[in-house]
């Protein structure tokens, strides 16, 4: 049974039992405490916790998920994958344990002809939470399961939560006995390879917090209603019903694995190590495809780092399989063809997806070259020092700075006969993770304890009136200080205020929050920031300028009018620039992120190369023509599906309600889902001046612009600068390019003449130095301290010239050193072939000299270069080189 058919049967089964079919949410989690959607229930968390009223009592979905906690296990086991699909059915205060068990049993045991999966009843085992007698009795009642096939387990196995504060509950898991050839008998408590879990029925009924581990948390109370949340692993069911050994061999994955095998010329199934690498490739390429499809781009933090790691692990695995050429262009289209039946958007968006993935592979290939050079130097140094292991900090630097996976470093070290100090490396990695966790905890708004916000939200959402007005009468619903409710606050204090209604826009959709004041009887509050820590609740961070504010007081909330005008100009300008980019570059130039505030905007978009000056000028012209045409700007609410039908663009990774706001400029010219504030006509945006364009990761670019009066001020500054230069050079402004070009040419000619003179001077100096060579243990040795300001490349040229003049009849060593313009010393050593045959190596001599200078260096045996920090030690460094020649020659 194909995976797509398993998926269809699941949805049909539950739709036929009164469940609404809900499309998969994005892989980018709507929960700010989670990087990714890690389970089918994540999009439903607001309904499970009672924050929002669900639009249905029963729902079913097939949710895209990403989990990376077990990434090192991918390919080694039958069931670990980074991307997977979770079939789920949900009840929000409707049916509970008996309903969940009945629906599950019916689907898995029903024959193929009747629309089920046809698993034999005698092959089915279940587990329940250790004290859940009710679930155990229901399995007997509904399914007739004997006691021996109902096993009880503790928190670690049979209690489910996301790993963050939120909903949780005991669960009952369904297992299929794969047969004696897969392991010992005795049920899942004995062997979870033979007894494979396919479905987890979670009885979601508790609110938890203080989560330290899967089995270490605090239950703070019951949820508002008893809910059902189930998760069936689509890939696991697929490999059972398709008669294959693991998830990498199902119809949605195996073709990519086979393509990796074909490219490598190796046969899948012939060697366990190769098999693991092919599975890694198949899994990671598919996962990368799905992540990029949902708007993630490679970067060095957060979701982007996970994607980068997956792509680079894929490239590395292919390299270990013997493939040195680019491979993602061969593998990604195969993965797309496997997945497009379930996710047709992958086909239509493949140009963008592939450009991001291909660019990342090219970047990593360049990284491999640089990192390999660093590794080679470190390995040579370790062996010369008599060490048998590469230092852990070197391995960490390769990983952190150059993107080298640790197992690639281990492999290369083994080839050199070295180990790696993995203990030190792991400690450094742990320290980095702890710093990252602390940083993330400091930044995130949703992962901390939000109970105080939720209590305020329980009283109802905060109506936003700012689309229609900039001032409103309201009342203080609550005051919070450091996340705790307080009765009041006095002058000088900074705290958070929740109002009954507000005209202040909360930061979202790339638009910065409003500024303004909140006033009341005897007090004034300056609004510093506005956020939505939980959905539906608007929270104002304020500073008490005077008086004392008390919860329950009536207030007047007033947005700074100039600030809002500037914000509207910038946000509408962002839409205009986005539309202009798509008009000039094509529809694949989709926005992937933005930020705007009064007078300024930046926009990230999918594009694989820098924009030339002419292209930037064209985008700017198209944007300002749209401003001049005075397009009407309108905002309309409509169902999400209707918005998609009319072509409204959605920002990747954003989560939208079933009812959405569509902002149009000039009709279809710009049509986007957006909750921000906007001008009424495009002419009100004013001037749009592009000021910069840069890369923000593989396959992603960023443009920046000033808007309105700030755009005018930027051009005014440039006009003043042009005027000053024209006066200085005594030409008309339109003659500046020609005059500057002529000056640059003159400077270059002068530099060439200076270089020639310098070369002649060095040549004469080289002849004198060659004549001054001294015999050191049979080696012709020249040492020289160059004048201050001599560049390192000049030192190198001089050393090579002197070496050449001394010929190849006897061993020659030339060592020259000097302090450059910065005052930092450099040293170059050159050794001819007879010298190398005598055991004298330039790299070893340079390291001795550089250490004396307080630095380091290295290179090849014939010529090497180093540097340091203490120029006063140059004479000592050259003396050390001479001593080392004697040690090398005499042994």
Residues flagged as binding site for Zn(2+): 571, 575, 674, 678
In this structure, are residues 804 and 812 in contact, taking their beta carbons and an 8 Å threshold? no
> In the structure encoding, which two tokens stand for residue 209, read together?
């917090």
> In the structure encoding, which two tokens stand for residue 638, read together?
């409509």
Closest CA to 329 of 297, 368, 289: 289
Q: How far is CA 685 from CA 88, 561, 599, 703, 719, in A?
A: 46, 15, 10, 17, 22
Q: Specify the residue for token string 């200085």.
A: 728
Between CA 728 and CA 733, with CA 731 as vertex, the angle to 5 degrees is 95
Name the strand (E) or helix (H) holding 337: helix 328-339
Closest CA to 530 of 553, 500, 502: 502
Q: How far is CA 429 from CA 148, 276, 398, 423, in A?
A: 45, 25, 12, 10
Q: How far is CA 3 from CA 62, 235, 250, 252, in A?
A: 12, 7, 8, 7
* Gap between the Cα atoms of 73 and 76, Å rounded: 5
Strand partners, 20: 59
Closest CA to 530 of 508, 549, 510: 508
In this structure, are residues 283 and 75 in contact, taking their beta carbons and an 8 Å threshold? yes
Q: How far is CA 389 from CA 379, 406, 430, in A?
A: 9, 14, 20
> In the structure encoding, which two tokens stand for residue 437, read together?
């966790």
> In the structure encoding, which two tokens stand for residue 135, read together?
């679930």
In this structure, are residues 396 and 373 in contact, taking their beta carbons and an 8 Å threshold? no
The 3-state DSSP class for residue 686 equals: coil
* Gap between the Cα atoms of 701 and 20, Å rounded: 40
* Gap between the Cα atoms of 48 and 806, Å rounded: 84
The 3-state DSSP class for residue 119 equals: coil
Strand partners, 502: 464
Output the CA torsion 866→868→872→876 (10° steps). Answer: -50
805: exposed, middle or buried (C-beta count within 10 Å: 0-12, 13-18, 19+)?
middle
Q: Specify the residue for token string 């600030």.
A: 563
* Gap between the Cα atoms of 375 and 827, Å rounded: 22
Binding residues: 571, 575, 674, 678
The one-character DSSP state at 140 is I
Name the strand (E) or helix (H) holding 343: none
Cβ-proximal residues to 414 (8 Å cutoff; 6+ apart), any chain:
none
The angle, 0 to 180 degrees and rounded to 10, between the axes of the packed helices 561-585 and 613-628 is: 120
Q: Specify the residue for token string 């982007």.
A: 304
End-to-end CA distance of the chain: 73
φ, ψ of residue 598 to 5 degrees: the values are -50, 120
* Gap between the Cα atoms of 660 and 401, Å rounded: 42
Its sign, for the CA torsion 48, 3, 84, 655, is: negative
* Gap between the Cα atoms of 694 and 538, Å rounded: 34
Q: How far is CA 860 from CA 864, 865, 891, in A?
A: 6, 9, 20
Cβ-proximal residues to 740 (8 Å cutoff; 6+ apart), any chain:
725, 729
The 3-state DSSP class for residue 857 equals: strand
The 3-state DSSP class for residue 558 equals: strand
């Amino acid at each position: 049974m194909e995976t797509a058919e398993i998926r269809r049967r699941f949805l049909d089964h539950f739709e036929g039992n009164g469940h609404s079919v809900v499309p998969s949410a994005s892989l980018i989690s709507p929960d700010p405490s989670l990087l990714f959607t890690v389970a089918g229930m994540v999009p439903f968390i607001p309904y499970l916790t009672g924050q929002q009223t669900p639009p249905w009592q029963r729902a079913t979905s097939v949710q895209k998920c990403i989990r990376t906690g077990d990434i090192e296990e991918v390919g080694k086991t039958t069931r670990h994958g980074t991307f997977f699909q979770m079939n789920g059915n949900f009840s929000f205060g409707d049916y509970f344990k008996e309903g969940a068990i009945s629906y599950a049993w019916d689907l898995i045991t029903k024959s193929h002809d009747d629309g089920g999966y046809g698993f034999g009843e005698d092959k089915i085992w279940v587990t329940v939470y250790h004290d859940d007698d009710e679930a155990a009795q229901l399995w007997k009642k509904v399914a007739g399961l004997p006691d021996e096939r109902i096993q009880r387990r503790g928190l670690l196995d049979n209690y489910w939560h996301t790993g963050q504060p939120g909903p949780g509950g005991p669960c009952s898991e369904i297992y299929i006995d794969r047969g004696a050839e897969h392991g010992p008998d005795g049920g899942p408590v004995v062997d979870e390879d033979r007894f494979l879990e396919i479905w987890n029925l979670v009885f979601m009924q508790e609110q938890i917090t203080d989560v330290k581990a899967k089995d270490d948390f605090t239950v703070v109370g019951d949820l508002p209603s008893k809910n059902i949340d189930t998760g069936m692993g689509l890939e696991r069911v697929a490999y059972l019903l398709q008669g294959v050994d693991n998830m990498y061999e199902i119809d949605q994955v195996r073709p990519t694995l086979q393509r990796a095998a074909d490219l490598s010329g190796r046969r899948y199934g012939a060697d366990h190590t190769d098999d693991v690498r092919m599975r890694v490739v198949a899994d990671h390429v598919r996962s990368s495809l799905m992540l990029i499809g949902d708007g993630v781009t490679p970067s060095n933090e957060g979701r982007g780092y996970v994607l980068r790691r997956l792509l680079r692990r894929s490239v590395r695995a292919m390299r270990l399989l013997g493939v040195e050429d680019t491979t993602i262009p061969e593998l990604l289209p195969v993965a797309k063809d496997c997945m497009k039946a379930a996710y047709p958007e992958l086909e239509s968006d493949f140009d963008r997806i592939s450009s991001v993935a291909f660019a990342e592979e090219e970047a990593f290939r360049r990284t491999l070259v640089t990192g390999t050079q660093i590794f080679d130097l470190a390995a040579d140094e370790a062996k010369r020092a008599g060490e048998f292991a590469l230092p852990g900090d070197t391995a960490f630097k390769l990983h952190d700075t150059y993107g080298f996976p640790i197992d690639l470093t281990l492999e290369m070290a083994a080839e050199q006969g070295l180990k790696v100090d993995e203990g030190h490396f792991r400690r450094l990695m742990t320290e980095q993770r702890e710093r990252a966790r602390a940083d993330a905890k400091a930044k995130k708004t949703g992962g901390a304890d939000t109970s105080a916000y939720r209590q305020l939200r329980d009283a109802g959402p905060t109506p936003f009136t700012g689309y229609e007005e900039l001032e409103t009468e309201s009342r203080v619903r609550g005051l919070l200080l450091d996340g705790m409710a307080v009765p009041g606050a006095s002058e000088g204090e900074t705290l958070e205020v929740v109002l009954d209604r507000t005209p202040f826009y909360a930061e979202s959709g790339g638009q910065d929050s409003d500024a303004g004041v909140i006033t009341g009887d005897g007090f004034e509050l300056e609004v510093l920031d506005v956020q939505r820590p939980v959905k539906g609740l608007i929270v104002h961070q304020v500073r008490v300028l005077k008086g004392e504010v008390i919860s329950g007081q009536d207030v007047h909330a007033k947005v700074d009018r100039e600030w809002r005008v500037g914000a509207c100009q910038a946000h509408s300008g962002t839409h205009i620039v986005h539309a202009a980019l798509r008009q000039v570059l094509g529809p694949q130039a989709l926005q992937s992120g933005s930020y705007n505030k009064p007078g300024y905007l930046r926009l990230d978009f999918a594009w694989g190369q820098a924009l030339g000056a002419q292209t930037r000028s064209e985008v700017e012209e198209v944007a300002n023509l749209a401003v001049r045409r005075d397009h009407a700007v309108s905002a309309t609410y409509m169902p999400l599906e209707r918005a998609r039908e009319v072509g409204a663009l959605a920002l990747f990774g954003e989560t939208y309600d079933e009812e959405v706001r569509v902002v149009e400029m000039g009709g279809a010219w710009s049509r986007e889902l957006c909750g921000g504030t906007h001008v009424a006509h495009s002419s009100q945006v004013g001037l749009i001046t592009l000021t910069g364009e840069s890369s923000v990761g593989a396959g992603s670019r960023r443009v920046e612009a000033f808007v309105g009066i700030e755009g005018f001020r930027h051009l005014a500054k440039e006009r003043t600068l042009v005027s000053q230069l024209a006066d200085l050079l005594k030409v008309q402004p339109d003659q500046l390019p020609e005059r500057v070009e002529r000056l640059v040419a003159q400077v270059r000619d002068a530099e060439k003449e200076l270089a020639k003179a310098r070369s002649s001077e060095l040549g004469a100096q080289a002849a004198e130095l060659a004549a001054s060579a001294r015999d050191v243990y049979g080696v012709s040795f020249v040492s020289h301290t160059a004048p201050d300001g001599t560049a390192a490349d000049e030192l190198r040229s001089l050393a090579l010239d002197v070496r050449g003049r001394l010929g190849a009849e006897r061993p020659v060593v030339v060592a020259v050193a000097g302090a450059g313009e910065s005052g930092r010393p450099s040293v170059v050593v050159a050794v001819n072939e007879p010298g190398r045959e005598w055991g004298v190596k330039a790299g070893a001599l340079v390291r001795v000299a550089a250490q004396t200078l307080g630095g380091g260096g290295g290179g090849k045996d014939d010529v090497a270069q180093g540097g340091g920090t203490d120029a006063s030690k140059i004479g000592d460094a050259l003396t050390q080189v001479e001593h080392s020649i004697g040690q090398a020659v005499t042994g």
